Structure 1
Amino acid sequence: MAVSLEWVNEQHDMEIGEPLIAMLEKLLAIAAEAEGVENGEVALSFVDDEAIRALNRDYRNIDKATDVLSFSMVETVPGEPDIRFDDDADEEGEGDEADELAEDGDDGETFPEPLGDIVISVRRAIEQASEYGHSIERELGFLFVHGFLHLIGYDHQDEEAERVMFGKQEAVLAKAGLSR
């Protein structure tokens, strides 16, 4: 199984076409391989400034638009208990069937694990591409890879973490031919 991308377009500043989605899928494959992520699904929403501002206000208490937000489904809190699918399972492995059912559909089809959601303000991406003097594709690619790295646990809270994360972003973009 591979890492897959599901997306929706909820903005009107730019047409989102198959070439852009193919580029983002390529970036996702490169980033996932580099990070050893073999399975999962990323949900991507292209939105306007009003929508991302509302999300930023509601989830981060910052009442202004931003360029990208990530909502990880794989983050855990230290000491958080594992999810149990069978209340009667004991510690000796009973309940394994329930675990398998959680990953497989009724017909045996395996579903990818949701890695999380990435939300990109297309208006911000357009403005930033112009400001930085590169293409909109490069800016959207940068924001997407940035969001993906957040989904899998990277952050840039201090100088060292920022150096690591931004280095990984640039390596993925360069491998895809989207360097500055």
Structure 2
Amino acid sequence: MPLEIDWRDENTGLSDEQIRELEKLLSFAADKLNVGDAELSLSFVDNETIRKINAQYRNKDQVTDVISFALEEKVEGEAEIVGVPIPRMLGDIIVSVPKAREQAEAYGHSFERELGFLVVHGLLHLLGYDHQTPAEEKEMFSLQEEILTAFGLPRSK
């Protein structure tokens, strides 16, 4: 079992085909990144829902495009699980579909490209990548672009 995705669409208008393509993209990215057996949750929400999540968990009362909650961050004193191997629980990716539509139009590329960018961005955050410094940003965004281009969603689309 490579990557198991538990997805939820809160009536955002995504088609089953669009969701299947995003699942394929995430599995492709996970293979490319040698993630191994892992699970994550992927939710598609509206702007109001993501604004509330952003306010509650990041103290930013504004709409954003994607939020990730990594589960692999170790907490001091946390017990290690031993015994039967279990899949990695990577965490949650939450995408605002209306914000993705808005950004696709603003950036002049397809909605599918924007959704792909956001889910790969979220996956990389779950795996510990960040963009707080110029070096981190260069590494993360280069990797995103490499994955999206190899999958068939280059920047020009």
Map of 1:81 onto structure 2:
77
Higher relative contact order by CA 8 Å / sep ≥ 6: 1 or 2? 1
Q: CA deviation at 1:6?
A: 1.3
Show the counterpart of 2:6: 6
Aligned pairs for 1:67-146 (under 5 A) are 67-77=65-75, 80-83=76-79, 99-100=83-84, 103=86, 112-146=87-121
Instruction: Give the Å deviation of 1:7.
Output: 0.6
Give the partner amino acid of 1:16.
L
Q: TM-score, normalised by structure 1?
A: 0.80
Q: CA deviation at 1:83?
A: 1.9
How much does 1:30 deviate? 2.1
- 1:82 deviates by 4.0
Q: In 1, distance between residues paired with 2:2 and 2:88? A: 10
Q: How far does residue 31 in structure 1 lie from its aligned partner after superposition?
A: 1.4
Counterpart of 1:60, as a letter, is: R
Which structure 1 residue ranges, 4+ long, deviate > 3 Å from structure 2? none
Q: Render the CA deviation track for 1:37-90: whole Å, top value 9, x for unaligned.
A: 00111101100111101110111101101000000111124xx234256xxxxx
What code does the residue aligned with 2:19 have?
I
Q: Secondary structure at the match of 1:81?
A: coil
Larger Rg: 1
Structure 2 length normalisation: TM-score?
0.92
| Aligned-partner Cα distance in 2 for 1:33–1:81 | 31
Percent of aligned pairs sharing the same letter: 49
User: Which amino acid is the alignment partner of residue 6 of structure 1?
Assistant: D
Which runs of 5 or more structure 1 residues have no equivalent in the other structure? 86-95, 104-111
- 1:113 offset after TM fit, Å? 3.0
Within 1, Cα distance between the matches of 2:115 and 2:29? 15
Counterpart position of 1:45: 43
Query: What corresponds to 1:54 in structure 2?
Result: 52
Q: Structure 2: which 5+ runs fail to align?
A: none
In 2, Cα distance between the equivalents of 1:143 and 1:16? 15
Distance 2:44 2:146 in 1: 24
**How many angstroms apart in 2 are the aligned matches of 1:141 and 1:122?**
12
Q: What is the aligned partner in structure 2 of residue 90 from structure 1?
A: none
Asked if the contact 1:39–1:113 (Cα under 8 Å) also holds between the matched residues in 2, the reply is yes
What whole-Å deviation, never above 9, does each CA across 1:115-171 have from its counterpart, x for those lacking one?
A: 100000001000000001111111000000000000010000011100000001001
SS at match of 1:30: helix
